[in-house]
Chain A
Amino acid sequence: MIGKRLELPGYALLAVFGVLAPLVFPAYVQQIAMLWIMIVFALTWDTMGGQMGYNSLGNIFFFGAGMYIAAVCQIWPWYDVGEYTDPSGSLTTSFTTDQYFLGLALGVVLAAVGSVVLAALFGLIVFGLRGPYFAIGTLGMAIAAGELIGAWDWIGGGGGIRLPVFPSGTDADPLFRVPFGDIHSADLQGVFFYWTCFVLAVLTFVFLRWLYRTRFGLMLNAIRDDETKAEALGVRTQLYKTVAWSISAFFLGISGALFGNIIGFMEPLEVAFPTVTFGIFMVLMALLGGKGTLWGPVIGATLFHIIKEVTWTHLLGWQWVVLGLLIVVTVVFFQQGIVGWLQERRPEWFGIEVDRGTAGQRADAEAAEALEAALEDTGGPAREPAR
């Protein structure tokens, strides 16, 4: 099985790249950090869309929710949130290193927990829907959230929130600076969030890899293949669907909390709930790499991110055309994605057995023989002719 043999070198390659990238490509730290977030997007979308067969267009909701929850947690222990976000900007603020990192830690944790709670709540409503209705229902949820947040002045409304500034060089804790040497504080911020994004992507991947090998993963696949049958076997489908969505939301919430701090500013429509950019990208990346597989989303996200960054840099003005073409080609001609295509062409690489030789009549004749052979072994009752 080549798939098994490739797995270990694959991990090694990614780990080496992940660790060395900020040192080898210091100019691209933020782009590569973004790659890890994209991988988290694709992986968590695939838990729903690929493994469970529920194509959510609203997963971006948890990204935005996490971002806002984290922002409030970072401000609220030290300043009045309403005053802080007041557009007149009368309040002057400064955060000490301790305040910054305490707020950030609290923000990340509560972003994750809050997103899980929201997933469980909204799951009660949207999991009554199936197929395209689920896709549209979740899309509506994300769009509505963006509009509602835009009307909520306490957290900045449409004007958004600027996040606490990363502690500057002089102020930063010496202990914290040691591993990075004496670098500029903007670079320090880049490197710090690079590492948190990398760790998040690794944790997401390792967790899902474990999850897909448990009974839970099997039940997700069962729900994808035939939910009615799963119910007929006594599966608590609503519970499984809700937990799967909560898992997606957990990691997406954290990714939102980190992304907000990387950008340093958030507003509801373009940054926090970007349904037409990140919301669609996560679907496209999972499809491109191969939905319903563990590695597909990772490969898809990497390829997509490279295409996106290259077109944004070298084909400016045409980047949306290229992206549109990519979506059309993937959806129309290449639905199984890269890993899915490989599984079809080379099933033996993945340990999948196929039986191309027998079909229909011959298969039935074979099955009848096998049945009779098994019956002789077990010494069943004497048969009466049935026809």
Chain B
Amino acid sequence: MTALIEVDNVSKSFGGVVANNAIGLDVEEGSITGLIGPNGSGKTTLFNSIVGFHPIDSGSIRFEGREISNLRVPQIARLGMLRTFQQTRIFRKLNCVENMHAALSHRGGTFRSMFAKKSGQAEERAEGLLDFVGLYQKRKLRAGDLSFGQQKLLEFAMALMNEPKVLLLDEPTAGINPTLINGLIDRLRLANDRFGVTLFVIEHNMRVIMNLAEHIYCLAHGELLADGPPDELRNDQRVIDAYLGAH
């Protein structure tokens, strides 16, 4: 297994607050990797740094061996690294199928392809993926009319439509109805299994992440605290202390 994402010595401060301090981690190709940590430990900041949402102060981020810390969000997305948002972001006034079409990859698009008609092939794939997340019945509904949980499912389906190599998921189960969680976890695992998408997941729900991930990194106060397989991390005294607030 080779590392798809290599984060090396990355630091990021906002004013006087050090959100990330010399973080180093690897996401193996084809794996499901977890990122945990108490609130304010710098997980989302690290995600934002990796996908190019803001520049980093120092360090290096490589994707497939290529330095990407100087690229911007759309460029990185076109390389095949996609993220979903903690607060779902979908195109509210478009219906689900249109959302899926809008999510089609922009890799290698020519000027002419900007004006292409919607292809039947894409339509089929969109409907297939909507079926995959259980939204087929709702495919003609406006995305803004869906429940929060359904919007999360739609956002996930849109990400798959884009055919990324790696997907960064920021709390995929946060704020959604518990009845949906099981199904969503299955979907994540299937996406990894069947479509070969590497997953890098921020998650607060310990049972979810311990079940899902093969390797977990734990952040605290902007620093990398510990990492290892779920079982090892579950019993790590430093991780327990970080969550319970011991120093």
Chain A interface residues (CB < 8 Å from chain B): 211, 213-216, 218-219, 221-222, 224-226, 228-237, 239-240, 243, 292, 352-355, 359-361, 363-365, 367-368, 370-375, 378, 380-381, 383-387
Q: A368-B177, A378-B190 given as contacts; is B185 within 8 A of A386 (CB)?
A: yes
Chain B contacts with A in 126-163, Cβ cutoff 8 A = 131-138, 140-142, 145-147, 149-150, 153, 158, 162
* B186 with A381: CB separation less than 8 A: yes
What number of A-B contacts does a CB cutoff of 8 Å give?
A: 174
B174 at the interface (CB under 8 A from A): no
CB pairs A–B below 8 angstroms (16 shown): A214-B114, A215-B113, A221-B93, A221-B94, A225-B94, A233-B106, A234-B105, A234-B107, A236-B74, A352-B142, A364-B179, A368-B179, A371-B133, A374-B131, A381-B190, A385-B182
Q: Is the interface of A mostly helix, strand, loop or mixed?
A: helix
Q: Is A222 touching B102 in the complex (CB atoms < 8 A)?
A: yes
Whether B211 lies near A215 (C-beta < 8 A) is no
Q: Are A359 and B185 in contact (CB-based, < 8 A)?
A: no
Q: Does B246 contact A (CB under 8 A)?
A: no
Contacts of B189 in A (CB 8 A): 380-381
A215 and B101 form a contact (CB under 8 A): yes
B13 within 8 A of A: no
Whole-angstrom distance between the alpha carbons of A354 and B140 in the complex? 8
User: Which chain B residues border A222 with CB–CB below 8 Å?
Assistant: 91, 94, 102
Apart from A233-B82, A370-B134: 8 A-B pairs, beta carbons within 8 A: A229-B90, A232-B74, A354-B141, A355-B145, A365-B179, A368-B183, A371-B180, A375-B183
A231 touches B180 (CB 8 A): no
Q: Are B89 and A226 in contact (CB under 8 A)?
A: yes
A370 touches B180 (CB 8 A): no
Pair A364/B177 contact, Cβ less than 8 Å = yes
Residue picked from B73, B93, B136, B186, most chain A C-beta under 10 Å: B186
Q: Is B98 an interface residue (CB 8 A)?
A: yes
Partner-A contacts on B (CB < 8 A)? 51, 73-75, 77-78, 82-83, 85, 89-95, 98, 101-107, 109, 113-118, 131-138, 140-142, 145-147, 149-150, 153, 158, 162, 173, 176-187, 189-190, 193, 205, 207-208, 211
Chain B residues within 8 Å of A352, by CB: 95, 142
Contact between chains at B102 and A218 (CB < 8 Å): yes
**A235-B106 contact given A226-B90, A229-B89, A368-B180, CB 8 Å threshold:** yes
Contacts of A373 in B (CB 8 A): 134
Most buried by B among A211, A359, A372, A386: A386
**A367 and B149: CB pair below 8 A?**
yes
Closest Cβ neighbor of A225 among chain B residues? B91
CB distance from B190 to the nearest CB of A (A): 5
Q: Smallest CB-CB separation from A366: which chain B residue?
A: B137
Q: Which residues of chain B have C-beta atoms less than 8 A from A235's C-beta?
A: 74, 106
Task: Name which residue of chain B comes closest to A375, CB basis.
Answer: B186
Q: Looking across the interface, which residue of chain B has its beta carbon closest to that of A292? A: B93
**Known: A234-B78, A353-B141, A360-B147. Is A380-B93 also a contact (CB below 8 A)?**
no
A25 to chain B, nearest CB (A): 38
Given the interface pairs A233-B82, A365-B179, the reply to whether A215 lies near B90 with Cβ below 8 Å is no
Q: How far apart are the CA atoms of A225 and B77 in the complex, in Å?
A: 19
- B residues in contact with A243, CB < 8 Å: 114
- Residues on A with C-beta less than 8 A from B115 are 211, 214-216
> Do B183 and A371 have beta carbons less than 8 Å apart?
yes
Q: How far is the CA of A80 from the CA of B186 in the complex (A)?
A: 76
Closest 8 CB pairs of A and B: A234-B77, A371-B183, A370-B134, A364-B177, A371-B134, A225-B91, A229-B89, A368-B179
User: Please, which residue of chain A has its CB at the minimum distance from the CB of B150?
Assistant: A367
Residues of B close to A360: CB separation below 8 A? 147
Residues in A whose Cβ lies below 8 Å from that of B114: 214-216, 219, 239-240, 243
How far is A56 from B103 in the complex, measured between Cα atoms in Å?
Answer: 26
Contacts of A383 in B (CB 8 A): 182, 185-186
Residue of A nearest to B178 (CB): A387
Complex formed: what's the CA distance from A45 to B18 in Å? Answer: 45
Establish whether residues B135 and A367, one from each chain, have CB atoms under 8 Å apart when the complex forms: yes
CA–CA, A360 and B135, complex, Å:
15
Give the distance in Å from the alpha carbon of A216 to the alpha carbon of B118 in the complex: 10
